[in-house]
Structure 1
């Protein structure tokens, strides 16, 4: 009997930050395509406007992403935020690939299940960890931004183009806004 896929639980607790991790389907390096990176960041930017959250850190690695967000509203639904980011990005990327590169588009289809549709993200909803103290939030930012250094892609966090560390130094209008000013006060002096 086949084991059901892991599904993530989300806790919508006011004042908590969310450390989010999502992998590409079968851990494929889909984010080696800069277009996929740009579409993902644009989806984060759009969701940021629609759902009123602060983005404290992000990294787009070749086969996964990490986000650290802080919903500003007392009541929110993290699942809707994630759907606005990941669902929108996947649909837009699928439409674009179908138009500009149909043969590449066909490689994104699930072949080993009852669902044969376009699949960008790994099943199961990723990982969502609620953070509520300064140290955990600071450690999360450092962990997220150091991913490409640990992977030996770059020597310093600021050298990696698809990260909040690079973005803080090189803001671009298509990228989401980094809200480091809302990070807990004791952390601000560490940047």
Structure 2
């Protein structure tokens, strides 16, 4: 995933992954944009056979626990597809203010697009024990509670 210092080492373990929107722009408060991400997660699971153990979509970032022998490549494609689709959605909705923000925050080395949706790289953390899996799943489930969006994780 670009020039990230975070790496996937062993491919037979699940990974806890965080991926954020550039500059923390809260794109996922828009239901249409969240649906793009949800549909892409379903595609990862159903078509690419990525095992998704859990995920949460927050206003400006995404956490997930996933496993696949080529997880890095699958997530690179996921971010590329969702980024392009989100830009198309925003263009269709004539969301000039958000598009302007995504354009102004674009890294100079991203020459193939006028906009940048996702921050470069991922932050994968290998899950190597049942205890760690439990901790990361609880983190995902309680992230919206901690942020004050809901009082009970089942409401998110």
TM-score range, shorter chain: 0.7 to 0.9
Distance of 1:20 and 1:12 partners within structure 2: 13
Q: Secondary structure at the match of 2:63?
A: strand
Instruction: Note the residue ranges of structure 1 that are not aligned, 5 or more in a row.
Output: 161-191
TM-score (norm 1): 0.72
Kindly state the Cα deviation for residue 22 of structure 1 after the two structures are TM-superposed.
Answer: 0.7
Larger Rg belongs to = 1
Instruction: Note the residue ranges of structure 2 that are not aligned, 5 or more in a row.
Output: none
Q: Is the contact between residue 47 and residue 84 of structure 1 (CA under 8 Å) also seen in structure 2?
A: no
Query: Would you say 1:119 and 2:116 are equivalent positions?
Result: yes
Q: Is the contact between residue 36 and residue 86 of structure 2 (CA under 8 Å) also seen in structure 1?
A: yes
Taking structure 1 as reference, are residues 100 and 112 closer, same or farther at Cα in structure 2, changes over 3 Å only? closer
Tell me how many residue pairs correspond in the alignment. 151
Distance of 2:105 and 2:154 partners within structure 1: 39
Kindly state the Cα deviation for residue 35 of structure 1 after the two structures are TM-superposed.
Answer: 1.0
Taking structure 1 as reference, are residues 111 and 144 closer, same or farther at Cα in structure 2, changes over 3 Å only? closer
Distance of 1:148 and 1:80 partners within structure 2: 28
Query: Would you say 1:51 and 2:48 are equivalent positions?
Result: yes
Q: Is the contact between residue 9 and residue 128 of structure 1 (CA under 8 Å) also seen in structure 2?
A: yes
Aligned mate of 2:99, from 102, 105, 127: 105
Kindly state the Cα deviation for residue 93 of structure 1 after the two structures are TM-superposed.
Answer: 1.1
